[in-house]
Amino acid sequence: MRALIQRVSHGKVSVAGESIAEINTGIVILLGIGGDDGEEQAQYLAKKIAEMRIFEDEQGKTNLSLLDVGGEAIVVSQFTLYADTRKGRRPSFINAAHPNIAAPLVERFVELMKSHGVPTQTGKFGAHMLVEIDNDGPVTIWLERE
């Protein structure tokens, strides 16, 4: 499971011109599910992300977590995080989980984020989405749990 986390001052997801998720202070999580991923990876990443200290305290040091600042999250499923670009010019996505496996695991990840106390919204699995990310910092972090 791979997560690209971006600290945001504003994030929004739209499908067919309709806003389906919107937050201010928080994080946008682009989440990729691999073919061998399961509950263990989802639990690890949800806890790690909820508690990761990437927000600034009064002294400007990154000592505060999403929970500490009362931030929110948007989770966007993104199979392209499993792109294999080693051969040719067209990426292969063979290592991404099949939608029948990925969709429930994305939902489970969202449930876990909520269980850690993070208000969490989502994009729409499998849809063409417009994702607006006002990256604050910029702070962008790559996490992976195999």
The listed CATH number (3.10.350.10, 3.20.20.70, 3.50.80.10, 2.60.40.1250) that belongs to domain 2-144: 3.50.80.10
What residues does each domain of the chain span? 2-144
Q: Is 43 an active-site residue?
A: no
Instruction: For residue 140, indicate whether it is catalytic.
Output: no
Burial code of 102-128, b = ≥16 C-beta within 10 A, e = fewer?
Answer: beebbeebbebbeebebebbbbbeeee
What type of residue is 51? E
So what's the pLDDT on residue 8? 98
Catalytic residue among 6, 41, 55, 79: 79
pTM of the entire structure? 0.95
Residue 143, judged by CB atoms within 10 A of its CB (0-12, 13-18, 19+), counts as middle
pLDDT band, very low/low/confident/very high, at 145 (cuts 50, 70, 90): confident
Question: Mean pLDDT throughout 10-14?
Answer: 98
Per annotation, catalytic residue among 6, 41, 55, 78: 78
Query: Over the stretch 77-107, which tens digit does the pLDDT of each residue have?
Result: 999 999 999 999 999 999 999 999 999 999 9
* pLDDT at res. 146: 76
